[in-house]
Structure 1
Amino acid sequence: MRIGLLGTGPWADMAHAPALSGHRELDFVGVWGRSADAAKALADRHGTRAYEDVDALLAEVDAVAIALPPSVQAPLAARAARANCHLLLDKPLAATVEEGRAVVEAVEQAGVASVVFFTSRFQPEIQAWIAEQAATEGWFTARAEWLGAVFTSDSPFAASPWRQEKGGLWDVGPHALSVLMPVLGDVERVAAAARGPKDTVHLVLHHVSGASSTLTLSLTAPPAAAGAAVELRGKSGVTILPGSAEGAVEALTRAADALLEAARTGRPHPCDAAFGLRVTEILTDAEAQLGSAPQIR
């Protein structure tokens, strides 16, 4: 499969480009970015070609991976789908429900495959844990804490404008939802949402299974307190989300495998654009309840 990359930022450079260039079933055709100089530099580092015209790249590939802010990703994803390109997308899918819905409609109309890269869903240990818990009945409640320390001097994402605007709800919230929803079912409603320190958010969710979950999400946790934890409690007892030995490049390689499989078989992946849209809808509901913008500094 011929694939292109849209985006030239740190995530594109440290995760997407290595995963695409190292994949045995992908031909990494080229890179497009909003900065032509950055696109050339990234392409040179990873042995591919820089494109100044995004449509020229779309015309020469079967698929694209997108590593761009959600408000930029969504319209480009819809554009790529209309050009009959399969989509390897990042989370969150879009910054608004309307933009996310436009991506889903374009995917459906073109009949292309889509996979949204929720990191945990493509790590084997966590995949196996989710499948085991999804097959277990009687979950009563869940607790998820996803705490990042992004805005530090040594973080490659410290200057990210969309993370500064949206905070942990939109950056790490999708990760927590991607783990909880396959086990507890879709979110029936956001029962409560409150702000904590800086960008920290606390959510209470009611799921269609009857279970409830609480989420604590942040990008401004002290570095010593950063990390992710998920705990489920129910009739079978208590279980905790395992860690993973794999990093982002390995997980993204598995996401590319999933896109190839979906394109070959025509069977939607569980983390497709429609699931990405549902996550966007939940985040939007939570954001509406929170009201004020996050205080990063």
Structure 2
Amino acid sequence: MTTEGRIPWCRSLPARLARFTGRTLWAEWHSIVVDPVRRLLRRGVFGLLLGFVAAFGVVFFHDIAQHPLGATWVERLGGVRADLPLWLSLLRTPVSLYVPALDLPVWAGITQLFLAFALAEVVLGRARTLAIAYATTVAGTLTARVMIAMGPGWWGLGLPPDCAHVLDTGPSAAVVGLFTYLAVVRRAPVVFTLTGGSMVWESIAVPNLAGREHLIAVGSAIVLGLLHGHRPRLQARLRSLLRIPERGYALAQPSTSPAPGTAGPPASPVPAPAGSVPPPPAAGRAQDAAMTSLER
């Protein structure tokens, strides 16, 4: 084999793969670490308000739940189960984000909770962070009700009826949804793999209610992340759909203008007030002015 027939090392497949991996990691480092740190330096510590509130809320409800009376009130305010009415579950869902789950350690998840809410607040803003966290949590709660209603079977999608009595609380679904949404929007494959891959492994290793809800949170966050850049197009599409019935309604209104080719009703003259003298015509006014000038 001659030298001309050899493939250069820089054009070989391992070299291209290494260069692609290096570019991807460098871009993800800037989008997930460098850019948020710059924004945080401009905004100050006040930009981490949601992270501190979320961490303090979990610690606060955890300490209250250590007492019997406090545990009762925590369950009344934020306890969500599938056997409760739907309106009551939705009413308790915002508080349930701060109620720690029973089978998970509190202090181990506070770091993830703080990082998820703090990073999302710096990158996405406060309103969108709360919207994504609530939407992914509600999606998991509603889908769990559907799975319990389906019953066991259904190719592993259904859940047994006993899961309806399990207390469904904790910010884990919101944390998973925020990390997944950030990974899709900021194009961070490493964060996406760590988040989504860990949830898939959890659902396979421990097939329980929490694992199913985490998968639903990941799926809903992916859909919301893909729709992130198409908001103007969706708004224009919605406006075009709303204009169709308005045009049809406008065409159905009776026309008050006369038909072409037909004369409308004659306009009635406005009567002049009594005792008033009509003004002379323009030609008469010119002649009176000429005579006056001659007499002078």
Same fold by TM (over 0.5)?
no
With the shorter chain as reference, the TM-score category is under 0.3
Higher helix share: 2
TM-score computed with the length of structure 2 as normaliser: 0.22
Higher strand share: 1
Larger RCO: 1 or 2 (CA < 8 Å, sep 6+): 1
Q: Which has the larger radius of gyration?
A: 2
